[in-house]
Chain A
């Protein structure tokens, strides 16, 4: 396939829309106007991102150089299939989350809502910025912007718990990026003179195996948003945030930015040939596998629903890292698809957790026995989310896991197949009992009355939408499957 380069400022526009929304949101006098503007910004952003889709699907690549911030090193955007996919998902889910936020934040009478919507908009700017970055410097810029923009969201409640969680959050995220990513990036730049992502990497043959190993480890761990153990503790801590934040940022935007960065570095900086020739990808696969199993085991013992979801996310993120690091065509396809499938599945689960909390004030799984009687729609959506995350049909998660499994075989590494299967069983073990207990329990056990008492419509509709999409994606995985295949074509030409 021949890729053509189209020069267009649309990637920049997509990034700027939510940035420009901030002053607008600040100047709004009533909350209705403010939330209307959030919707307008979110919809516009999605439309701009989506408007680039046909070009990308036709095999083009969109580039836009903003300016040279350092001589020969510009702030530049490049939209390829992989970035497109991620931007599409996150900007679409922003619309849904905005609706959900309205229901959630209002029903809990949260304070500082204007600040909340502003930082949300900033976070989305940064997320799409990462997705469209053309070089490591631009990526780093938006990555840091995201770290800082999410801090006030994580610490929204401004109490002691938020304070200590915020500290953990920054310690891991900002600390790792400054201590690991920054020096690795500077070292690479000092030695190669470039930071532009190339389809097969740009490192060349100038580095010894040990140097490469150190760089790979620094970059894989440095993007701590990917939640690879042992740099994962920030994610459970960040669950102190309001649930829409956990839903969009800590199931989709922030954490996926982490794995997206890892994937970009593996494919665009080092390149598949280089990593395969030194067999360094196996190191990354092993690290990811340890995280997958360990996170799933820890998830089993969590009683807080959001904390269980957080550990589940840590495990699922490493699926993506594992898939990318396997570097076989199917595995990378599966990894990219998993960004999408897991996003829809997990955001549904978080929406449900938030809905349960907003409606009943319950946070712990042990107190949710019989909740299906009271909130049947929410818990049905929860079931769909669970199926998708476990990877069972008829949900989107099945497709990505299918490709991942095929990928382990294609890469001839059956050990990692075992990891995937064990992990799936563990996923089922920590999720299914919640659903089972919610619906099937004796009247004595039930902690809720049989009367249906759902959350406000603003909360309920978004979670039904994301649940439905999870199912739809099983039947119609386009355009994501196509985009993933195009991405693979570009990265490993398989």
Chain B
């Protein structure tokens, strides 16, 4: 059974998506349970594979028995297994948390929404699982097209921002495809492991075509992950979408693209080529520094919750790109660890923001007054998420930052270390500004007022918490942030260290 799990991870959701689509005409009430069952099963199998990988090493599956390099292989190794778990877990948690939101926002097209939801997850899972550079493109497009739709079926400005995303995203995907094409011309292979072998040959190491393939592949991925200055599509797409969509797309897309970058960098072009021969590390880290600084500063300029979160996502992308291109073990460890941690952090914050907008119908900062009294559970989870983003121990955000900063110091790249510290400080300002509004101000106040501390405002502070189906997944995510932090040691020693090739010091 375990042997077939990699294939089932993609095939089962693909077929379920079709079934859900058909069911939406016949028995729309069954759509949610079926979707839930499908993603739940994916999560269970991902965990199964992760355990298997930790126990006995990478799992390789050849599609249809056609062996590599001719056929398509799925490779679940130390790098992909944890990301698979993250992808499916995020999808499942968000599905539960958003079910009420989905009912409200898409009452007449729930079937469509669930179909797209599953297909998106299929694409993401496939990107992570595949061991074939071209297959990655196909799955990238599955995830992207469904992503555009998920975002586009939001309100008012969502279709336009989705269209913008579509244009830029398609350019990104085409770039990647073009890069793979050049690589195929140069080597005659599309299998990742095979390509990595070719890269060891001197004629490929010095080939201009391979270098161009690298540049254009990576640029495509950078566009897709919203790396500054290629981030223009991201803020509107994520903030105008329905919270049910953005809490899925925002934590996953950027993180899975980072995964793809690490995968292509380490296992296609190989570290010796990327860090040794090309020497692009230094320049890329400076771009990452710019992403961190600009992302943080732009986040400061926002006046609504979702917009602010999207700019934090842009800064976090800078964290991970920078960590990877430091090219040392600590930096890449931090980058890979941050895929997991940041997905969880982003999910937590987007879910909390979703719960808030579900109640207040607005995510404008001025509408967050008194929320600590009205939505204590949501705000508690939001606080944990915020502390993780700021990087306060023992939340997971602290520990990925730990690796990234040490990576920066060891690489002698103090600008990167300073940028991370700067970003932490800005994040502290960002979130405590929200805490102040939510803790001190009373709803309905025009501006600051003085209420003597003996007075109670019980009548204004009635609890109007989000539905239980939102709170429970949100709380689980928040606890997860602390658990991930506490178990950092295990995650790093048992999984991530093994995911990084031995040659990297």
Q: CB within 8 Å of B: which residues of A?
A: 67-71, 73, 75, 108-111, 137, 140-141, 144, 148, 152, 155-160, 162-163, 166-167, 170, 174-175, 178-179, 182-183, 186-187, 189-191
Contact = CB atoms under 8 A, between A and B. Distances in A.
A378 to B, nearest CB: 23
A186 B391 CA distance: 13
A166 B387 CA distance: 17
B452 interface: yes
A71 B489 contact: yes
Nearest to B448: A160
Interface string B434-445: 001001100000
A170 B432 CA distance: 9
Contact of A71 (B406, B410, B492): B492
Given A109-B454, A187-B409, A144 B428 contact: no
Contact of A183 (B417, B428, B436, B488): B417
B276 interface: no
Given A71-B489, A179-B421, A179-B425, 16 more contacts: A68-B489, A70-B492, A75-B394, A109-B454, A111-B453, A158-B439, A159-B451, A160-B448, A167-B432, A174-B428, A178-B421, A182-B391, A186-B406, A186-B409, A186-B417, A191-B409
Interface of B: 387, 390-394, 399, 402, 405-406, 409-410, 417-418, 421, 424-425, 428, 432, 436, 439-440, 448-454, 456, 485-486, 488-489, 492-493
B452 to A, nearest CB: 7
A167 B429 CA distance: 9
B450 A186 contact: no
Given A69-B489, A70-B488, A110 B424 contact: no
B452 A186 contact: no
Contact of B424 (A67, A155, A178): A178
A296 B53 CA distance: 64
A155 B440 contact: yes
Nearest to A138: B393
Contacts of B488: 69-70
9 contacts: A69-B485, A137-B393, A144-B392, A159-B452, A163-B440, A166-B436, A186-B405, A190-B406, A190-B410
Contacts of A141: 393-394
A148 B386 CA distance: 12
A162 B440 contact: yes
Contacts of A69: 394, 399, 485-486, 488-489
Contact of A70 (B387, B425, B439, B489): B489
Contacts of B454: 108-111
A166 B440 CA distance: 11
Contacts of A174: 428
8 closest residue pairs by CB, A with B: A157-B453, A190-B409, A141-B393, A68-B489, A163-B440, A190-B406, A186-B405, A178-B424
A166 B435 CA distance: 11
A354 B436 CA distance: 27
A191 B450 CA distance: 51
A118 B185 CA distance: 66
A162 B454 CA distance: 14
Contacts of B387: 148
A336 to B, nearest CB: 27
A231 to B, nearest CB: 15
* Chain B CB within 10 A, most for which of A69, A70, A148, A167: A69
A274 B176 CA distance: 55
Contacts of B439: 152, 155, 158
A157 B440 CA distance: 9
Contacts of A182: 391, 405, 421, 424
Nearest to B407: A190
Given A111-B454, A159-B450, A160-B448, A70 B405 contact: no
Nearest to A147: B392
A191 B489 CA distance: 20
Given A155-B440, A175-B425, A183 B402 contact: no
A46 to B, nearest CB: 26
Nearest to B422: A179
A357 to B, nearest CB: 13
B44 to A, nearest CB: 27
Contact of B402 (A67, A108, A162, A186): A186
Contacts of B399: 69-70
Contacts of A162: 440, 453
Contact of A175 (B428, B449, B493): B428
B157 to A, nearest CB: 34
B391 to A, nearest CB: 7
A183 B405 contact: yes
Contacts of A179: 421, 425
Contacts of A108: 454
Contacts of A183: 405, 417-418, 421
A170 B453 contact: no
A69 B418 CA distance: 24
Nearest to B405: A186
Contacts of A163: 436, 440
A469 to B, nearest CB: 31
A307 B448 CA distance: 25
Nearest to A240: B453
Contacts of B492: 70-71
A426 to B, nearest CB: 34
A148 B493 CA distance: 30
Contacts of B485: 69
A242 to B, nearest CB: 9
Contacts of A178: 390-391, 421, 424-425, 428
B406 A160 contact: no
Contacts of B440: 155, 158-160, 162-163
Contacts of B452: 159
